[in-house]
Amino acid sequence: HACLVLFGPHWGAAVRLGLMNRTKGDEEEYWNSSKFKAFTFDDEDDELSQLKESKRAVNSLRDFVDDDDDDDLERVSWSGEPVGSISWSIKETAGNSGSTHEGREQLKSRNSFSYAQLPKPTSTYSLSSFFRGRTRPGSFQSLSDALSDTPAKSYAPELGRPKGEYRDYSNEWSPSDTVRRLRKGKVCSLERFRSLQDKLQLLEEAVSMHDGNVITAVLIFLKRTLSKEILFRELEVRQVALRHFIHFLKEIGDQKLLLDLFRFLDRTEELALSQYREHLNIQDPEKRKEFLKTCIGLPFSAEDSAHIQDHYTLLERQIIIEANDRHLESAGQTEIFRKHPRKASILNMPLVTTLFYSCFYHYTEPEGTFSSPINLKKTFKIPDKQYVLTALAARAKLRAWHDVDALFTTKNWLGYTKKRAPIGFHRVVEILHKNSAPVQILQEYVNLVEDVDTKLNLATKFKCHDVVIDTCRDLKDRQQLLAYRSKVDKGSAEEEKIDTILSSSQIRWKN
């Protein structure tokens, strides 16, 4: 039923369609033929027309119903925020300074709202009471007061605090009582736990409660009162606490202690990555480069080591290129920089971007220079495919068709030339088209596409009439040629060419 085919073949079919093809034919064919056909919309009853239909219906109703008087619908400002929502109100109430007179009037009337008239809803139960036991009005003593070096401060009476709370304070609490009180947000001094055994018991109690906030509280206390060696040693055998401690050090940015800890734990890869991560926070290119240099010797995996080395080398290279090119550009003597001023600095750009840059500005330089593309290719062992793609994109952007041509021309020892593209000519065509290459150029490369279906598809897509016509002729496909005739301009040279071929008696058409 036509109605079931909505957006073309349904998606589940996509892969099965592919699977069938794949088992039958080769991969290339699958990639290049089946998928295009899935997107032809010639079914009258397809989704597009259905959507159009509902749109039409909706539009026709607009004439009939006036939009202004739908009072009982929720009022919504254009941005869709219901009038009165929180984010809407922030904009409205905050915009008072320097806003229009109208706006201020609005605010005035808003503020003259009489609160006294509103009944305050009485509470039956609150969520917090489930956990805190009874509600504790005005309890605002902080946990951290308890941890300060001068715990005496927390005894100072504060306004609005019921007397009973002070009496609660006792030196007799066990580590487990203390942790339970901490968890309920009550005041507890940890200072009186002096022995290592007490401190560790405190930590274990906290961990068994699973409350990250309390675990962190105890860890802060331990960090302050234990020597690094003892702290690390004890954390090593308490994995949960250890993970919280590492997360805590990351949060507060105590990089030094974190690195010490990783070193102690012999977690070398984390140590290396954690140190390397620091470079993200260094803005100055020279300093960043120097920092990266210190990362090279860190205990990365073999694979990552090579990447870190490359990162350093790349930045070093970029600094040189940047200084040189900035100078060339400002001197105004070099044509390429005059014609195509640089949009941004090359510093900290990825390798492939750097290669593109160098293919764009330094294509013809000899291999010996730092900025030459060939030099980059060798230094960073850029694969052929990647190199050709990038060079093609750069040269096509400059419309340097001669360079493009050279990129794919190989000479054998007899001096014959042959066109070869490690990325496949269909990709070459796509990239050239993206850079708006003229039809003559496109045509040349479409012709080099080996697979006939792909070639025909691309030629049709990019209006390379000659290629389409010649291919149809070679395929002896009269029907397709006839169909194509309706797509070319009336009275054009293409039409004439098609007519000549169609009337030729030399061809034995297959249909």
Subset of 143-202 contacting other proteins (CB under 8 A): 143-145, 147-148, 160, 185
Identified binder of other proteins from the candidate list 2, 44, 65, 411, rule CB under 8 A? 65
CB of 259 to other proteins, least distance (A): 15
The count of other CB atoms within 10 Å of the CB of residue 178 is: 25
CB of 487 to other proteins, least distance (A): 20
Identified binder of other proteins from the candidate list 190, 206, 214, 235, rule CB under 8 A? 214
If DSSP codes are grouped into helix, strand and coil, which group holds residue 423?
A: coil
CB of 322 to other proteins, least distance (A): 16
- Count of residues of this chain found to bind other proteins when the rule CB under 8 A is applied: 131
Residue 73 is given by DSSP the state: S
Identified binder of other proteins from the candidate list 244, 317, 426, 433, rule CB under 8 A? 244
- Interaction of residue 352 with other proteins, rule CB under 8 A: yes
Report how far Cα 5 is from the mean position of its chain's Cα atoms.
34
Cβ within 8 Å of residue 241, ≥6 positions away = 203, 206, 207, 215, 219, 235
- Interaction of residue 42 with other proteins, rule CB under 8 A: no
- Interaction of residue 414 with other proteins, rule CB under 8 A: no
CB of 273 to other proteins, least distance (A): 6
CB of 497 to other proteins, least distance (A): 30
Query: Looking at 260-268, 331-339, 343-351, 486-494, which segment touches other proteins (CB under 8 A)?
Result: 343-351
- The letter for the amino acid at 166 is Y
H or E element: which one contains 417?
strand 417-419
CB-nearer residue toward other proteins: 317 or 473: 317
Identified binder of other proteins from the candidate list 25, 26, 84, 509, rule CB under 8 A? 84
CB-nearer residue toward other proteins: 250 or 378: 250
CB-nearer residue toward other proteins: 193 or 488: 193
CB of 484 to other proteins, least distance (A): 22
Query: Looking at 171-179, 210-218, 338-346, 446-454, which segment touches other proteins (CB under 8 A)?
Result: 210-218
CB of 55 to other proteins, least distance (A): 5
- Interaction of residue 19 with other proteins, rule CB under 8 A: yes
CB of 331 to other proteins, least distance (A): 30
CB of 71 to other proteins, least distance (A): 8
Identified binder of other proteins from the candidate list 37, 55, 108, 263, rule CB under 8 A? 55
Instruction: Tell which positions 455-494 bind other proteins, by CB under 8 A.
Output: none
- Interaction of residue 230 with other proteins, rule CB under 8 A: no
Listed in order, strand segments (DSSP E) in 68-187 are: none
DSSP letters along 447-488, please? TT--SHHHHHHHHHHTT-HHHHHHHHHHHT-HHHHHHHHTTS
Ramachandran area for residue 84 (φ above 0: left; ψ -120 to 50: alpha; else beta): left
H helical segments located in 332-438: 335-339, 351-361, 373-379, 384-397, 401-408, 425-434
- Interaction of residue 304 with other proteins, rule CB under 8 A: yes
Identified binder of other proteins from the candidate list 100, 126, 171, 506, rule CB under 8 A? 126
H or E element: which one contains 133?
none
Looking at beta carbons, which pairs linking 180-183 to residues 24 or more positions away fall under 8 Å?
180/209, 182/143, 182/146, 182/206, 182/214, 182/217, 182/218, 183/209, 183/211, 183/213, 183/214
Identified binder of other proteins from the candidate list 262, 360, 361, 380, rule CB under 8 A? 380
If DSSP codes are grouped into helix, strand and coil, which group holds residue 43?
A: coil
Identified binder of other proteins from the candidate list 2, 44, 60, 339, rule CB under 8 A? 60
Query: Looking at 52-60, 167-175, 333-341, 366-374, which segment touches other proteins (CB under 8 A)?
Result: 52-60
Identified binder of other proteins from the candidate list 37, 108, 192, 210, rule CB under 8 A? 210
CB-nearer residue toward other proteins: 32 or 371: 32
Instruction: Tell which positions 422-461 bind other proteins, by CB under 8 A.
Output: 423, 427
Identified binder of other proteins from the candidate list 33, 230, 236, 240, rule CB under 8 A? 240
Cα(425)–Cα(132) distance, integer angstroms: 71
Cα(175)–Cα(198) distance, integer angstroms: 7
Query: Looking at 208-216, 333-341, 403-411, 449-457, which segment touches other proteins (CB under 8 A)?
Result: 208-216
Instruction: Tell which positions 255-294 bind other proteins, by CB under 8 A.
Output: 269, 273, 276-277, 279-281
- Interaction of residue 112 with other proteins, rule CB under 8 A: no
CB-nearer residue toward other proteins: 137 or 366: 137
Report how far Cα 363 is from the mean position of its chain's Cα atoms.
31
Smallest CA-to-CA distance from 222 within 259, 278, 261 is with: 261
- The letter for the amino acid at 243 is R
- Interaction of residue 299 with other proteins, rule CB under 8 A: no
The count of other CB atoms within 10 Å of the CB of residue 342 is: 16
Distances (CA, A) of 348 to 4, 300, 342, 370: 52, 22, 15, 16
Q: Cα 8–453–464 angle (5° rounding)?
A: 100
The count of other CB atoms within 10 Å of the CB of residue 134 is: 6
Query: Looking at 163-171, 236-244, 441-449, 482-490, which segment touches other proteins (CB under 8 A)?
Result: 236-244
Report how far Cα 4 is from the mean position of its chain's Cα atoms.
36
